[in-house]
A and B are shown apart, each in its own frame.
Chain A
Amino acid sequence: MSIDLSQFIPSFLEESFEGLELMESSLLSLEQGDTETINSIFRAAHSIKGGAGTFGFDAVTEFTHLVETLLDEMRDGRRDIAQGDIEILLDSVDCMRLLVMSIKEDTTCEDEKIIEVTAQLEATLKGSDISSIAETSNIQVNNETASDQTTWLIEFIPEHHLVKTGNDPQFLFNALADLGEVSIEANSSELPALNDMDPEELYLSWSITLVADIDIEEIKEVFEWVEDECQLTITKKQIPSSQDNNNTPQVKTDNPLLINEPSTAESTNNKQNNVQADESAPPIAKTTEPELKVKPAAATVKTTKPKADVGSIRVGVDKVDSLINLMGELVITQSMLSELGNDFDLSKVERLNRGLEQLLQNTKELQESVMRIRMLPISFAFNRFPRLIHDLSKKTGKQIELILKGEQTELDKTVMEQIGDPLVHLVRNAVDHGIESTDVRLANGKPEQGTIILNAYHQGGSIVIEISDDGGGINREAVFNKAIEKGIVDGNTSLTDSQVFDLILEPGFSTAKELSDISGRGVGMDVVKKNIQSLGGRIQIESTEGKGSTFKVHLPLTLAILDGQLVRVGSEIYIIPLITIVESLQAQSELINRVSGDMVVYRLREDNVPVLPIYQLFNLEAETKEVEGSLLVVVEAEDQKIGLMVDDLLAQQQVVIKSLNENYQQVEGISGATILGDGSVAMILDIPGIIQMAQNNALKSFNHKTDKLTYSEEVTH
Chain B
Amino acid sequence: MTKILVVDDSNSIRDMVCFTLKSAGYDTVEANDGQQGLNKAKMGSFDLVISDVNMPNMDGITLCSELRKLPSFKFTPILMLTTESSGDMKQRGKAAGATGWLVKPFNPEKLIATIKRVV
Q: Which residues does A use to contact B, with CB under 8 Å?
A: 1-3, 5, 7-8, 11-12, 15, 39-40, 42-43, 46-47, 49-56, 61, 163-168, 171-172, 174-175, 178, 200, 222, 224-225, 228, 289, 296-297, 299
How many angstroms from the CA of A40 to the CA of B33 in the assembled complex?
Answer: 13
Interface centre among A42, A53, A55 (most CB of B within 10 A): A53
Report which residue of A42, A43, A200 has the largest number of chain B beta carbons within 10 angstroms of its beta carbon.
Answer: A43
In the complex the two chains form, is A54's CB within 8 Å of B54's CB? no
Q: Apart from A8-B19, A47-B13, A299-B105, what 6 extra A-B contacts exist at CB < 8 Å?
A: A1-B24, A50-B105, A61-B105, A164-B75, A165-B98, A166-B118
Decide: B116 and A171 in contact? CB cutoff 8 A: yes
Can you list 21 A-B pairs, Cβ within 8 angstroms, ordered by A? A2-B109, A3-B19, A3-B108, A3-B112, A8-B19, A15-B11, A39-B56, A43-B9, A50-B83, A50-B105, A54-B105, A165-B98, A168-B75, A168-B77, A174-B116, A225-B101, A225-B118, A228-B94, A289-B87, A299-B105, A299-B110
Given A15-B12, A174-B116, A299-B107, also A46-B56 (CB < 8 A): no
Is B13 in contact with A163, judged by CB distance below 8 angstroms? no
**Which single residue of chain B is at the shortest CB-CB distance from A174?**
B116
Q: Indicate the size class of the contact surface on chain B.
A: 35 or more
Contact present for A54 and B117 (CB under 8 Å)? no
**Among A42, A55, A171, A200, contact of B117 (Cβ-Cβ < 8 Å):** A171
Between B10, B98, B106, B118, the greatest number of chain A beta carbons within 10 A of the residue's beta carbon is seen for B10
Q: In the bound complex, how far is the Cα of B84 from the Cα of A42, in angstroms? A: 14
Given A15-B11, A53-B83, A225-B99, A168-B105 contact (CB < 8 Å):
no
Inside 8 A of B108's CB, which chain A residues have their CB? 2-3, 5
State A415–B112 Cα separation when bound (angstroms).
44
Please tell me which one of the listed residues B19, B56, B87 contacts residue A5 in the complex, with CB atoms under 8 A apart: B19
Q: Does the CB pair A165–B97 fall under 8 Å?
A: yes
- Summed over the interface, the residue pairs from A and B with CB atoms below 8 Å come to a total of 115
Is residue B43 within 8 Å, beta carbon to beta carbon, of the partner chain?
A: no
Considering the chains assembled together, what is the distance between the CA atoms of A163 and B73 in angstroms? 12
Q: Tell yes or no: B69 within 8 A of A by CB.
A: no
Residue among A8, A163, A222 with most chain B CB within 10 A: A8
Question: Which B residue's beta carbon lies closest to that of A36?
Answer: B56
Asked if B16 is at the interface (CB within 8 A of a chain A CB), the reply is yes
**Chain B 35-64 near chain A by CB (<8 Å), digits 1 or 0:** 000000000000000000011100000000
Assuming the A-B contacts A3-B20, A3-B109, are A166 and B11 also in contact, with contact meaning beta carbons closer than 8 angstroms in the complex? no
Determine which residue in A7, A46, A47, A166 has the highest number of CB atoms from chain B within 10 A of its CB, and name it.
A166
The answer to whether A46 touches B117 (Cβ under 8 A) is no
Interface residues of B in 76-119 (CB under 8 A from A): 76-78, 81, 83, 87, 94, 97-101, 104-110, 112-113, 116-119
8 Å CB contact of B118 from A54, A164, A168: A168
Interface positions of B (Cβ within 8 A of A) = 9-13, 15-16, 19-20, 23-24, 54-56, 74-78, 81, 83, 87, 94, 97-101, 104-110, 112-113, 116-119
Task: Give chain A nearest CB distance to B102 CB in angstroms.
Answer: 10
Sorted nearest first, the 3 A-B pairs with minimum C-beta distance are: A53-B105, A225-B100, A166-B99
Within 8 Å by CB of B94, from A52, A165, A171, A289, lies A165
Q: Are B12 and A8 in contact (CB under 8 A)?
A: yes
Bound CA–CA A50/B11 (angstroms) = 12
CA of A607 to CA of B118, assembled, Å: 84
Given A5-B20, A15-B11, A51-B10, verify A166-B117 contact (CB < 8 Å).
no
Min Cβ gap A426→B in Å is: 34
Partner of A54, one of B24, B76, B106: B106
Q: Is B99 in contact with A50, judged by CB distance below 8 angstroms?
A: no
* Chain A: minimal CB distance from B64 (Å): 10
In the complex, chain A residues whose CB is within 8 Å of the CB of B116: 171, 174-175, 178
**Nearest CB of chain B from residue A45's CB, rounded to whole Å:** 10
Tell me the complex Cα distance, A56–B105, Å.
8
Are A53 and B100 within 8 A (Cβ)? Answer: no
| Complex contact A167–B118 (CB within 8 A) | yes
Q: Are A54 and B13 in contact (CB under 8 A)?
A: yes
Q: Which residue of A lies closest to B11 (CB)?
A: A15
Residues in A with CB closer than 8 Å to B13 are 47, 50-51, 54
A175 to chain B, nearest CB (A): 5
Contact yes or no, A171 B119, CB < 8 A: yes
In Å, the complex CA distance between A40 and B56 comes to 7
* Complex alpha-carbon distance, A46 and B55, angstroms: 10
Residues A167 and B55 in contact in the complex (CB < 8 Å), given A8-B16, A43-B9, A172-B117 = no
